[in-house]
A and B are shown apart, each in its own frame.
Chain A
Amino acid sequence: MLLRFPPWKVALVLITLLLGVLTCLPNLLNEQQRQQYIGWLPVKPLNLGLDLKGGASILLEVDPVELRQNELRNVNRAIGEKLRETPLIPVTSRNPEGDAVVVKLRNPADRAQALERIKTLGRPPAGSIGVQDYYIITERADGAIDVRFSDTRFDKLQVDALSSSIEAVRRRSDNSGLVEPNIQKQGDSRILVEVPGLNPSEMDTLIGTLTKTGVLTFNMVDPAANVADYTPGEPRNNRVALPDDSVKGQIEVIHLDAIIQGSDLSGARQDFDETGGASIAFQLHPAGAKRFGDETQKNVGQRFAIVLDDRIVSAPVIQSPITGGSGRITGNFTIEEAEQMAVVLRSGALPARLKVAERRVVDASLGADSIRAGVMASVVGVGLVAVFMIIAYGLLGVFAVIALLLNMVMMIGVLSFFGATLTLPGIAGILLTMGMAVDYNVLIFERIREEKRNGRSPITSVEAGYDHAMATIIDANVTHVVAALVMFNLGSGPVRGFALTLVIGVITSFFTAVIVARWIMAIWLKTFRPKWIPI
Chain B
Amino acid sequence: MWWDKPGAKKANPEDKPFPFMKIRWIGFIVTGFIFVATTVSLATQGLNMGLDFTGGVQIEATRSTPFDVGVVRDEVSKAGFEESVVTTSNAGNTVIIRLPVETGAEEVPAISQKITQILGEGVSVQVPAVVGPKVSGELFMSGVLAAVLAVLAIGLYVWFRFELKFGTGAFVTTFHDVYAVVGLFSITQLTFDLTIVAGVLTVAGYSINDTVVVYDRIREMLKKYKKLPIAQVIDISITSTLSRTLITSLATMIAAGSMVFLGGPVLFGFAVSIVFGIIIGTYSSIFVAAPMLMHLPGRLPGAKYTGAETTAKAAS
Q: Do A and B bind each other?
A: yes
- Give residues 74-114 of B contacting A (CB, 8 Å): 85-90, 92, 96
CB distance B213 to A443 under 8 Å?
yes
| Bitwise interface map of A from 474 to 506 toward B, beta carbon under 8 Å scored 1, else 0 | 011011101111110111111100100010000
Q: Which A residues are CB-close (under 8 A) to B217?
A: 472
Of A186, A377, A395, A471, the residue contacting B58 (CB under 8 A) is A186
CB distance A363 to B255 under 8 Å?
no
Q: How far is the CB of A385 from chain B (nearest CB, A)?
A: 5
Q: Which B residues are CB-close (under 8 A) to A97?
A: none
Task: Tell me the dominant secondary structure on chain B's binding face.
Answer: helix
- Give residues 368-416 of A contacting B (CB, 8 Å): 368-370, 373-374, 376-378, 380-382, 384-385, 388-389, 392-397
Q: How far is the CB of B137 from chain A (nearest CB, A)?
A: 10
With most chain A CB atoms within 10 A of its CB, the pick from B157, B202, B243, B266 is B266
CB distance B134 to A370 under 8 Å?
no
CB distance B198 to A362 under 8 Å?
no
Tell whether A532 pairs with B150 under 8 Å between CB atoms, given A369-B70, A480-B209: no
Q: Which B residues are CB-close (under 8 A) to A487?
A: 146-147, 150, 201
Q: How far is the CB of A412 from chain B (nearest CB, A)?
A: 16
CB distance A479 to B70 under 8 Å?
no
Q: Which B residues are CB-close (under 8 A) to A435?
A: 251-256
CB distance B6 to A532 under 8 Å?
yes
Q: Does B73 contact A (CB under 8 A)?
A: yes
Stretch at the interface among A2-10, A287-295, A329-337, A425-433: A425-433
CB distance B258 to A184 under 8 Å?
no
CB distance A186 to B132 under 8 Å?
yes
Q: How far is the CB of B98 from chain A (nearest CB, A)?
A: 9
Q: Which A residues are CB-close (under 8 A) to B212?
A: 472, 475-476, 479
Q: Does B16 contact A (CB under 8 A)?
A: no
Q: Which B residues are CB-close (under 8 A) to A384?
A: 254-255, 258
Q: Which B residues are CB-close (under 8 A) to A454?
A: 12
Of B88, B139, B161, B170, the residue contacting A493 (CB under 8 A) is B139
Q: Does B222 contact A (CB under 8 A)?
A: no
With most chain A CB atoms within 10 A of its CB, the pick from B3, B149, B255 is B255
Tell whether A482 pairs with B154 under 8 Å between CB atoms, given A192-B131, A373-B262, A436-B252: yes
Give the CA-CA distance A185 to B142 in the complex, in Å: 19
Stretch at the interface among B181-189, B267-275, B304-312: B267-275
Give the CA-CA distance A458 to B139 in the complex, in Å: 54
Q: Which A residues are CB-close (under 8 A) to B197?
A: 494-495
CB distance A443 to B244 under 8 Å?
yes
Q: Does A361 contact B (CB under 8 A)?
A: yes
CB distance B55 to A184 under 8 Å?
yes
CB distance A431 to B2 under 8 Å?
no
Give the CA-CA distance A114 to B196 in the complex, in Å: 59
Q: How far is the CB of A377 from chain B (nearest CB, A)?
A: 4
Q: Does B265 contact A (CB under 8 A)?
A: yes
Q: How far is the CB of B71 from chain A (nearest CB, A)?
A: 10
Q: Does A247 contact B (CB under 8 A)?
A: no
Tell whether A494 pairs with B248 under 8 Å between CB atoms, given A184-B132, A363-B87, A483-B153: no
CB distance B136 to A498 under 8 Å?
no
Q: Does A124 contact B (CB under 8 A)?
A: no
- Give residues 276-311 of B contacting A (CB, 8 Å): none
Q: How far is the CB of A418 from chain B (nearest CB, A)?
A: 18
Q: Does B138 contact A (CB under 8 A)?
A: yes
Task: Tell me the dominant secondary structure on chain A's binding face.
Answer: helix
Give the CA-CA distance A360 to B208 in the complex, in Å: 44
CB distance A490 to B248 under 8 Å?
no
CB distance B263 to A377 under 8 Å?
yes
Give the CA-CA distance A190 to B129 in the complex, in Å: 10
Give the CA-CA distance A167 to B140 in the complex, in Å: 12
Q: Does B173 contact A (CB under 8 A)?
A: no
Q: Which A residues are CB-close (under 8 A) to B135?
A: 493-494
CB distance A361 to B262 under 8 Å?
no
- Give residues 121-158 of B contacting A (CB, 8 Å): 129-136, 138-139, 142-143, 145-147, 149-151, 153-154, 157-158
Q: Which residue of A lies closest to B193 (CB)?
A: A425
Give the CA-CA distance A360 to B91 in the complex, in Å: 11
Q: Which A residues are CB-close (under 8 A) to B131?
A: 184-186, 192
Of B201, B241, B263, the residue contacting A428 (CB under 8 A) is B263
Give the CA-CA distance A140 to B310 in the complex, in Å: 90
Of A367, A385, A396, A439, the residue contacting B73 (CB under 8 A) is A367
CB distance B263 to A480 under 8 Å?
no
- Give residues 41-92 of B contacting A (CB, 8 Å): 55, 58, 69-70, 73, 85-90, 92
Q: Which residue of A lies closest to B214 (CB)?
A: A472
Q: Which B residues are CB-close (under 8 A) to A362?
A: 87-89, 96
Give the CA-CA distance A370 to B70 in the complex, in Å: 9
Tell whether A480 pairs with B153 under 8 Å between CB atoms, given A186-B129, A425-B195: no
Q: Does A278 contact B (CB under 8 A)?
A: no
Of B138, B146, B248, the residue contacting A442 (CB under 8 A) is B248
Q: Does A248 contact B (CB under 8 A)?
A: no
Give the CA-CA distance A449 to B243 in the complex, in Å: 11
CB distance B89 to A360 under 8 Å?
yes
Q: Which A residues are CB-close (under 8 A) to B271?
A: 377, 428
Q: Does A196 contact B (CB under 8 A)?
A: no
Q: Which residue of A lies closest to B265 (CB)?
A: A370
Give the CA-CA distance A475 to B252 in the complex, in Å: 20
Q: Which B residues are CB-close (under 8 A) to A380?
A: 258, 262
Q: Does B29 contact A (CB under 8 A)?
A: no
Q: Does A507 contact B (CB under 8 A)?
A: no
Q: Does A305 contact B (CB under 8 A)?
A: no
Q: Does B27 contact A (CB under 8 A)?
A: no
Give the CA-CA distance A388 to B88 in the complex, in Å: 41
Q: Does B10 contact A (CB under 8 A)?
A: yes
Query: What is the interface of chain A, defined by CB distance below 8 A to chain B?
Result: 51, 54, 57, 166-167, 170, 182-188, 190, 192, 360-370, 373-374, 376-378, 380-382, 384-385, 388-389, 392-397, 424-425, 428-429, 431-432, 434-436, 438-439, 442-443, 446, 449-450, 453-454, 471-472, 475-476, 478-480, 482-487, 489-495, 498, 502, 531-532, 534-535
* Ranked 5 nearest A-B pairs via Cβ: A185-B132, A394-B2, A373-B264, A435-B255, A491-B146
14 A-B residue contacts at CB 8 Å?
A166-B136, A363-B89, A365-B86, A367-B73, A367-B86, A370-B264, A378-B259, A442-B251, A471-B216, A472-B213, A483-B151, A490-B149, A494-B198, A498-B201
**With A188-B130, A432-B274, A443-B244 given, can you name 14 additional A-B contacts, CB distance below 8 Å?**
A361-B89, A373-B266, A431-B255, A435-B256, A436-B205, A438-B248, A439-B209, A439-B244, A446-B241, A472-B213, A482-B154, A482-B157, A486-B150, A534-B2
